[in-house]
Amino acid sequence: MKKLIVGNWKMNGGLLENAALVQALLQGLPRAGVEAAVCVPMPYLGQMQQLLQGSPLAWGAQDASAHEQGAYTGETSATMLRDFACRYALVGHSERRQYHGESDDTVATKAQRALAAGITPIVCVGETLAERQAGRTELVVKRQLASVVHTVGHCTSEIVVAYEPVWAIGTGQTATPEQAQAVHAVLRAQLQAATAHAGRIRILYGGSMNPANAAELLRQPDIDGGLIGGASLKAPEFLSIIASVPAAA
């Protein structure tokens, strides 16, 4: 299974910057050995389709609606994302859970909608600092993942999971490789109990991953890639993270 490195641009970019960024990424991407994608703001999905179709860099959205269609002002359905050939959609990013009140159930429905549209949901789970300090990390991430597994059922093997400790996102405070690996092992065991095809599910780490810490994180047995926020906006940094994927992976 190839490692997967996904950039989450969040609410950043513009037509000109995006074009320069993806051009630099296309020039620097290795030919094989690793898969890479960028999750961009909704208005730029058409631009990505135009610039990246047929290239080794995949693209995706940062959210997908829990609804199929109708009177949901401001929402974007998974079917609409498919019109722009998105391969991925982030669901349940901690910023969506925190600022938009997304519950585990909502996130699970979003994952289901994405799958139904042929899009791979990247299901984000992770504990807050208070939850970690209270010794509740395992409980929280298992609850978040269980909701998705319960809802998508036999399609569980089609998802990607991203473990993103909330305290590590955008803070420069990365989980140590040991801390991350411990949680990834818990999630792996949970997926193994849920599906006979857990071996094909990638579990990404996200949270202040950068060129300096990526190699050590990506060497952990249950870390199958990375979800990169800040560092994905700078081509040299994102390419350097991609280049740090261990050769044997």
Return the residue of 38, 190, 229, 237 that touches ligand PEP, per CB under 6 A. Answer: 229
Look at residues 169, 236, 163, 162 and name the one whose alpha carbon lies nearest to residue 209: 169
Binding mask 160-199 for ligand PEP (x = CB under 6 A): ----x----xx-----------------------------
Return the residue of 126, 165, 207, 225 that touches ligand PEP, per CB under 6 A. Answer: 207
Question: Does 227 contact ligand PEP by CB under 6 A?
Answer: yes
Q: Is 164 a catalytic residue?
A: yes
**Which residue, 194 or 238, has its beta carbon nearer to ligand PEP?**
238
Of 93, 95, 127, 131, which is the active-site residue?
A: 93
Question: Does 225 contact ligand PEP by CB under 6 A?
Answer: no
Structure tokens at 180: 């991350």
28-36, 45-53, 186-194, 225-233 -> range binding ligand PEP (CB under 6 A): 225-233
Look at residues 100, 82, 96, 85 and name the one whose alpha carbon lies nearest to residue 124: 96
CB 131 within 8 A of CB 164: no
11-19, 98-106, 141-149, 200-208 -> range binding ligand PEP (CB under 6 A): 200-208
Residues 6 or more apart whose Cβ sits within 8 Å of residue 80: none
3-state secondary structure of 109: helix
Question: Does 60 contact ligand PEP by CB under 6 A?
Answer: no
Alpha helices in the chain (DSSP H): 15-28, 45-52, 78-83, 94-99, 104-116, 129-133, 137-152, 177-194, 214-218, 235-243
Of 102, 131, 158, 164, which is the active-site residue?
A: 164
Question: Does 86 contact ligand PEP by CB under 6 A?
Answer: no
CA distances for 206 relative to 32, 81, 130, 167, 227, angstroms: 22, 23, 18, 11, 5
Residue of minimal Cβ distance to ligand PEP: 229
3-state secondary structure of 227: strand
> Residues binding ligand PEP: what is the number (CB under 6 A)?
13
Question: Does 13 contact ligand PEP by CB under 6 A?
Answer: no
Residues 6 or more apart whose Cβ sits within 8 Å of residue 16: none
CA distance 81 to 95: 20
19-27, 111-119, 227-235, 238-246 -> range binding ligand PEP (CB under 6 A): 227-235
For the bound state, the minimum distance from the C-beta of residue 223 to ligand PEP, rounded and expressed in Å, comes to: 13
Question: Does 244 contact ligand PEP by CB under 6 A?
Answer: no
Return the residue of 158, 230, 238, 245 that touches ligand PEP, per CB under 6 A. Answer: 230
The DSSP symbol for 170 reads: T
Structure tokens at 144: 């978040």
Q: Which of left, alpha, beta for 245 (phi over 0: left; psi -120 to 50: alpha)?
A: beta
Which residues are known catalytic residues? 93, 164
Residues that bind ligand PEP (CB under 6 A): 8, 164, 169-170, 206-209, 227-231
